[in-house]
């Protein structure tokens, strides 16, 4: 059966008080997700210490809250990645920059476990479009960097390689959030990172080998 879930907010917050109320709602949903608590409009309202009606003023349902929370978290992570990708006056090799991206991402994952729950967990209904947009954004950022002549890109189609690299990065994310305990050093994460590095090494030239 095909069905749709309304995900767009009912009212776009304009005034500072309204924006703060929306931020409180998203923070409450994030806190509940990160403690594996049941997430409903009632539990979000209780966590945020606001009336349930305040949630329905801005969001038609919990899935809309999920989408907006995921967008907020995803933007935060992608902005960190963009800072590294935009480094064009650095003599650092692409593999050094990649390690910086991965290190920053791991720190982000550690502080925002709700990101993984939304990206890969059961609470992802209706988020497929947003997920594709996040992959596409990273792909676009990489393609722009390589078209500008950085990292010694060669022997491939920029768009194809950037898309695959962004998908492999998502695989690294998946491996991280699927693990328990000390996930940063878990073998599946390490192996996923190796796969991403090996793939990029086919098309990118280390700085020491550049012309």
In a domain, 113, yes or no: yes
In a domain, 24, yes or no: no
Whole-number pLDDT of residue 128: 77
Number of Cβ atoms within 10 Å of the Cβ of 101: 20
Split at pLDDT 50, 70, 90, the class of 4 is very low
In a domain, 26, yes or no: no
What does the mean pLDDT of the chain come to? 86
Rounded to 5 degrees, what are φ and ψ at 170? -65, -35
Number of Cβ atoms within 10 Å of the Cβ of 11: 10
- Give tens-digit pLDDT for 128-171: 777 888 889 999 999 999 999 999 999 999 999 999 999 999 99
What CATH number has the domain bearing residue 115? Answer: 1.10.357
In a domain, 66, yes or no: no
- In contact, 152 and 135? CB cutoff 8 Å: no
Q: What's the pTM value of the predicted model, to 2 decimals?
A: 0.82
- Give tens-digit pLDDT for 11-31: 566 588 888 999 999 999 999
Using CA atoms in the order 53, 56, 62, 63, what is the torsion angle rounded to 10 degrees? 180
In a domain, 181, yes or no: yes
């Amino acid at each position: 059966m095909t069905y749709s879930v309304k995900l767009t907010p009912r009212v776009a917050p304009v005034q500072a008080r309204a924006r703060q109320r929306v931020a409180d709602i998203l923070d409450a949903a994030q806190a509940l997700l990160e403690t594996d608590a049941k997430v409903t409009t009632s539990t979000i309202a209780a966590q945020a210490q606001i009336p349930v009606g305040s949630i329905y003023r801005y969001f038609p349902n919990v899935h809309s809250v999920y989408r907006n929370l995921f967008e907020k978290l995803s933007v935060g992570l992608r902005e960190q990645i963009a800072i590294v990708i935009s480094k064009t006056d650095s003599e650092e090799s692409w593999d050094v920059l990649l390690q910086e991206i991965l290190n920053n991402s791991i720190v982000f994952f550690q502080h925002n476990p709700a990101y993984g729950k939304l990206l890969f967990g059961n609470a992802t209904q209706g988020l497929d479009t947003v997920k594709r947009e996040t992959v596409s954004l990273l792909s676009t950022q990489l393609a722009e960097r390589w078209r500008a002549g950085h990292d010694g890109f060669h022997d491939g189609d920029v768009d194809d390689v950037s898309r695959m690299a962004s998908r492999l990065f998502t695989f690294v994310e998946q491996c991280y959030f699927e693990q328990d305990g000390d996930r940063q050093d878990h073998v599946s994460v390490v192996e996923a990172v190796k796969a991403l590095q090996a793939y990029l090494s086919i098309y990118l030239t280390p700085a020491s080998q550049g012309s």
